[in-house]
Amino acid sequence: MDHRPLGRSGLSVSAIGLGCMGMSEFYGPSDDEQSLATLAAALDLGINFFDTADMYGSGQNERLLSRFLKGRRDKVVLATKFGLVRGPNGERLGVSGAPDYVRSACDASLARLGVDTIDLYYLHRVDPKTPIEDTVGAMKGLVEAGKVRFLGLSECAVETLKRAHKVHPITAVQCEYSLWTRDHEGGMLAASQEIGAAFVAYSPLGRSFLTGAVASTDNLAEGDFRRANPRFQGEALVQNRRLVEALADFAAQKGVTSAQIALAWILNKQDHVVPIPGTRREKYLRENIAATTIRLSGAEIAALDTLFAPDKVAGPRYAPAGMAALGH
């Protein structure tokens, strides 16, 4: 497994990480024992970068990771996030970056994870009610207290990143990035590189859409959030399916899968980007890891850029409430 630097932290992480969200929520029913087996397999196969958040399953995902981490903590670069607040029954309560909440959220995550220190602690979404200087100031206090090693931001504005970085070095920025979500090209991708931060790409497979596995939402489980995602609806779905069919043709010519091309495109295009595809199954885990060995020429990258030009992708990447939380 190739490795990439995690910003200027001095940490080296596997060229792809593992996003753990789907093991607890958002993509239909899951099996904890199967997820634990996949987590263990990921580590055995060379992945050392694992990503969770306190809101995934209302803390359940962090508890799942705590089981995996026992006896393995020193082999793992552990990232979690805070800021999207949920109630005891999973209800969404908004966003908070208030200093007191920063401290209490961290303590709660440490307890659920069963660890003394979090390697990378992200603000999941920026709280527009709290100056970023105040939020990051409180996060800096966690570093000084030894509870957190490095800081990150997720889905923030470029100007917010620059302001935050003045308070304390930002080691990583996490944003959605894939062939069909290229909002951050020329913006956050460049800004993160400028300050020496890694760019961690979540949903690099377009929530499995780029794999060709989702032909219709009719086949998705009840409660799967893609059932309400605009890109999976009506005419948008029809238009986006054409892109995926073209991607499948491209992959077939290379003798690999669509998922592998989607990951290879990211890895070959940007050397400070670390994609974190999520999966609950070892089969797909192995497929994703194999993508790190695929080399794409400049002409092939340009062809994929053209095929997935942003104006060819139909629908916003979230419903209105989700879009409203981005870019603060």
The whole-number pLDDT of residue 31 equals 94
pLDDT of residue 98: 98
Q: Which residues are catalytic?
A: 56
| pLDDT-based confidence at residue 89 (cuts at 50, 70, 90) | confident
pLDDT band at 51 (very low <50, low <70, confident <90, very high): very high
Q: What is the pLDDT of residue 186?
A: 84
Cα dist. 53→185, 296, 300, 307, 327 in Å?
A: 25, 33, 35, 33, 19
Does 219 score more than 90 pLDDT?
Answer: no
Q: Sorting pLDDT into bands at 50, 70 and 90, what band is 305?
A: very high
| Mean pLDDT for the stretch of residues 59-66 | 97
pLDDT, average across residues 238-252: 96
Short-list 55, 187, 82, 181, CA closest to 139: 82
- Per-residue confidence band for 2, with pLDDT thresholds at 50, 70 and 90: very high
Return the beta strands (E) in the chain as ranges: 3-5, 12-14, 18-19, 49-51, 77-82, 84-86, 92-95, 118-123, 148-154, 170-176, 198-202, 273-275
pLDDT tens per residue across span 132-143? 999 999 999 999
pLDDT of 176 strictly over 90: yes
Calculate mean pLDDT across residues 182-197: 95
| Mean model confidence pLDDT for the chain | 96
Convert 130-161 to b/e letters by CB count within 10 Å (16 or more is b): bebeebbebbbbbbeeebbbbbbbbbbbbebb
Determine contact, residues 146/110, Cβ cutoff 8 Å.
Answer: no
> Would you state the pLDDT for residue 215?
85
Instruction: Indicate whether 216 pLDDT > 90.
Output: no
Identify the residue with better confidence: 29 or 158. Answer: 158
Using alpha carbons, select from 1, 11, 3, 2 the residue that is nearest to residue 196.
11
Distance CA(153)–CA(80), nearest Å, equals 11
pLDDT of 29 over the 90 cut: no
Q: In this structure, what token pair is assigned to residue 66? A: 């705590």
Domains in the chain, CATH or no CATH each: 3-206+269-295 (3.20.20.100)
Segment 278-302, tens digit of pLDDT: 999 999 999 999 999 999 999 999 9
Residue 33 pLDDT > 90: yes
Residue 285: which of 20, 24, 26 has the closest Cα?
A: 20
**CA distance between the termini of the chain:** 35
Mean pLDDT, to the nearest integer, of 91-101? 96
Range in 54-63, 153-162, 209-218 the model is least confident about: 209-218
